[in-house]
Amino acid sequence: MLNNTLIFGLLTGIVLIVSFILDNKKTILGLKKGWKMLFSILHPFLNILILISFVLFFIPDTLIVKYLGANSGWLGFTIAAIIGSITLIPGFISYPLAATLLKQGATYAVVAVFMTTLMMVGIVTLPLEIKYLGKKAAIFRNVLNFVAAIIIGILMGRFM
């Protein structure tokens, strides 16, 4: 049976060949632009991945299970929500981090709260949001998303 990586790789290859046949100059230009984008993302991605790996290496599994595991209750939700709200990590890095947390004993509910606040709540970016959206809208958006993250975590805990 074919796995997803192979299927997407084959589809990408086929679309690339069709694109090259239809307009080889645009295809080459697109590939060059794509490589530049990849290399501009690669440096910060690797730095953050290495940093997270060190942090997770030095935090014992027992500590993660204690504070983010099945018996952590509301404390686990609170810790995950606060860390997710103040951390500024790109989405493409947060998914491997979530998988690692799950492997180390964190619950789906707590990881859902962490991931949701990480993506939707921005304490670090709040001053910038206030500048462009206004104080009331920025704070309202963050509070609503924080509450939504808790609700999502509760639902994940019920269904997973």
How long, in residues, is the chain?
A: 160
Place 32 in a pLDDT band, splitting at 50, 70 and 90.
very high
Instruction: Convert the pLDDT of each residue in 45-58 to its tens digit.
Output: 777 778 777 777 78
Q: What's the start-to-end Cα distance of the chain, in Å?
A: 27
Instruction: Convert the pLDDT of each residue in 91-116 to its tens digit.
Output: 777 888 888 888 888 899 999 999 99
Instruction: Report yes or no: 80 and 153 within 8 Å, Cβ to Cβ.
Output: yes
Mean pLDDT of 104-129: 90
Output the pTM of the full model.
Answer: 0.69
Query: Where do the structural domains in the chain lie, given as residue ranges?
Result: 1-58, 60-160
In angstroms, the Cα distances linking 87 to 7, 46, 54 are 34, 17, 16
